[in-house]
Amino acid sequence: MNYREIFFNYFLYFIIYSMLGWVVEVLFHIYTEKKLVNRGFLNGPWCPIYGVAAIIMITLLNRLPQNPILIFLAGAILASLIEFITGLILEKVFGNKWWDYSDDKFNIKGYISLKFSILWGIATIILIKFLQPTIEMFLSIFSLPTLVIIHNITLIVFVVDVTLTISSLIELKNILAELKNIAGELNLQKIQDELLNNKILNLATRIKNRQIYLIKIYPKLTKDKLESLIDQVIDIKQKIYEKLDEQKNNPVQ
């Protein structure tokens, strides 16, 4: 296998494990919350943190003696480290936690917990012993030209998704910052109701459905008790949609 083919394979490993991670997240929340929730922050069915973690595990752990206990310990440590760093970066960038294990025993700053570290260790054994050999066998069926086509199509879709999501998240960060300012001004009674309503109306016209969805599935993003303001923004946006539908269905003669 040449370097080019290795590169294509590893990118496809990343995509496959990102999609498997998305499935795991969805199934976990069906079990815990009894409802279907798209837990990925991207639009597509993938969670990149799982893809990155899997590539790191495959690259590093395949060099170790294939002892299940050693794989478990190394996997638990590596996955927890990746989760901690990712959680820390996301909080630094967006100002709030995307997940929080503070209610779990033996957690570190809410980013990681012993319970999930154990689960990551078990998942790593499954990855190294079963999943990766199966995926390698599956990809070996395809010729290099076919892998190139699959790679190119997937790469384009993924890059477009990431680009749109980053743009949306930056706007969401700005919206949440403005909501915090409104909440602060309201508490200090510095603004009139009319001005407050105008500011909220402005946010309602800017916030997108995907951003509203992210707020709902990642409630930790609004840790600063902005729920009532966010509900007001969402309610106004819904009324705007209803008004537009009414005008569409009953055009002025």
Summarised one tens digit per residue, pLDDT across range 166-207 is 887 787 777 777 776 766 655 545 444 555 566 666 666 667
The C-alpha torsion from 11 through 17 and 20 to 24, rounded to 10°, is -150
Residues of the chain above pLDDT 70, percent: 69
CA angle at 66 for the pair 143 and 107, rounded to the nearest 5°:
105
Q: What secondary structure does DSSP assign to 88-119, as a single string?
A: HHHHHHHSS-S---TTSTTEETTTEEHHHHHH
End-to-end CA distance of the chain: 69
Q: Cβ distance 39 to 24 under 8 Å? A: no
How high is the pLDDT of residue 37?
73
Q: How many CA atoms lie within 13 A of 247 on its CB side?
A: 6
Indicate the range of 46-50, 92-96, 99-103 predicted with least confidence.
92-96
Q: Cβ distance 50 to 16 under 8 Å? A: no
- Residue 236 pLDDT more than 70? no
The span from the CA of 113 to the CA of 100, in Å, is 9
* CA-wise closest residue to 142 among 242, 32, 12: 12
DSSP E strands in 8-152: the ranges are 107-108, 112-113
Residue type, position 168, single letter:
S
Q: Indicate the DSSP class of residue 188.
A: T
Mean pLDDT of 12-29: 91
pTM to 2 decimals?
Answer: 0.73
- What lies within 8 Å, CB to CB, of 47 at 6+ separation is 18, 21, 22, 25, 39, 40, 41
* CA-wise closest residue to 50 among 102, 127, 107: 127
The span from the CA of 132 to the CA of 13, in Å, is 9
How high is the pLDDT of residue 227?
60
Give the CA distances from residue 146 to residues 16, 157, 244, in Å, rounded to whole numbers and listed in that order.
Answer: 16, 17, 47
Q: Indicate the DSSP class of residue 142.
A: S
pLDDT tens readout for residues 107-154: 998 899 999 999 999 999 999 999 999 999 998 888 888 888 988 999
